[in-house]
Structure 1
């Protein structure tokens, strides 16, 4: 059972966040905390798409390079990227050099801007799929890969022109941005542990 692990500091954490220092920092300060704001959420959609098929630690280590390569994940800037930018990104060893994911990130920036034509915004759209709060899962074996809400989110995003947004990627996004809290029981960040998970992050205070 992948239950909470108590580290040398005496603090219980989810097993995936109890080892590598960078993962531990991400676990402690970001994962499962409420994240709001168009640009911050666009960044998370982008990074979750790049993570598909890879370890999250790979993407986390490359996050500063991703931010530099994609203009700080400003949708207006990325939406203007053309063939020269795709070539530049494919030559950038600091990021994940996958053409389909790079092109999807550019198309998703355009889709973010296109939401205005529907009188929608990315923050409101994504958070509309957040389920009611639930008790902390006993272990990671009890954490699903997809949910009805993540499936509905993926369908809604694809209908609006987004790519690389399947139900699994959308559920990972929901976990990362606090739409669901999957810190396991015994983790100091778990629901009901008095950890302040209701404190919202913005794009400006996101660590990394």
Structure 2
């Protein structure tokens, strides 16, 4: 992990088919922190996110308490945004609540896989996903970032020149 930067990890993973629940939560966490900043800034923090967010195991994160959150917020290597840090906890709780309706978070995201006729409309699908996620208690999940998350997980094909 230390030999490859977070940006390189993200770049290599982006667009591959992701079925692993923890990797799906990793994409979601990056999306949360990406809001309002460059994806490269958020992706550069993947090693820190892995450390402070239980290697993206959302079942463990859902159990975090106030002292855990305060420790993360005081970590000088973290992106210093308490609302986003706390939203990761909320999103972990919401992800756990998806079960048993879905096997896991990755299965939930794959349930939005469009048929071939809808494939190119990332923004529309992203809006549908974001609306459903907000209804289920997720935070910092806008249409654009959810559309990109679906591309990143290989659920939607990349646009040419994208």
With the length of structure 2 as denominator, give the TM-score of the two structures: 0.84
**1:23 Cα deviation after fit:** 4.9
Between the aligned partners of 2:96 and 2:32, the Cα distance in structure 1 is 18
- Equivalent in the alignment of 1:156: 132
Q: How far did residue 68 of structure 1 move?
A: 0.2
Report the CA distance between 1:127 and its aligned residue: 1.0
TM superposition shift of 1:88:
0.9
Structure whose residues are more often helix by fraction: 2
Does residue 51 (structure 1) correspond to residue 34 (structure 2)? The answer is yes
Partner of residue 37, structure 1: 20
Structure 1's unaligned 5+ residue stretches are 1-20, 138-143, 191-208
Moved runs in structure 1, 4+ residues, more than 4 A? 21-26
Cα distance in 2, alignment partners of residues 182 and 46 from structure 1: 20
Q: Please, which runs of 5 or more residues in structure 2 have no aligned partner? A: none
1:166 aligns with 2:149: no
In the other structure, the counterpart of 2:58 is 75
1:63 is matched with: 46
Give, in whole Å, the separation in 1 of the partners of 2:145 and 2:21: 18
Contact preservation (8 Å) 1:69, 1:89: yes
Aligned residues: 156
Q: Which has the higher contact order (CA 8 A, sep 6+)?
A: 1
Tell me which structure has the larger Cα radius of gyration: 1
**CA distance in structure 1 between the partners assigned to 2:6 and 2:65 by the alignment:** 33
Q: In structure 2, how many angstroms separate the alpha carbons of the residues matched to 1:111 and 1:44?
A: 15
